[in-house]
Amino acid sequence: MTRAEFESFVAKALQALPRRFRAKMKNIAVVVEDWADAETLEEMGIEPPDTLYGLYRGVDLTRRDSSYGNVLPDTITIYQEPIEEDCADEAEMAELIRDVVIHEVGHYFGLDDEAMAELERPEEE
């Protein structure tokens, strides 16, 4: 899959987040990279053959106070190669990307795993 095609899946996953969450996402960049580098894996305590699908770096919303400002954007990185490697087809890949995006956005909001489930619920009209 090309990078543009993969990024399209990531964009769709972000757009599918409930509006109440999307509206609160400020100063955050979502990027796609091939693989997590060795330094990142070591920092996260991950030893090969395990790897990362995604990573949030920044100060989550629950830890920000009035002194927070004039900072570079937080970053969510989605790693294309391990996702492609572990998925049988595009449908499975789209689902995994969605799950990874939800998980990493959840970290941005400072949510635990239970609260992250709320991101998966469809919006009420």
- pLDDT tens digits for range 61-117: 888 888 888 889 999 999 999 999 999 999 999 999 999 999 999 999 998 777 777
CA pair distance 70, 74, nearest whole angstrom: 12
pLDDT of amino acid 121: 63
Q: Which residue has the higher pLDDT, 120 or 125?
A: 120
CA pair distance 57, 44, nearest whole angstrom: 11
User: Which residue ranges form the domains of the chain, and what is each CATH number?
Assistant: 3-63+71-120 (3.30.2010.20)
Q: Are 60 and 13 in contact (CB under 8 A)?
A: no
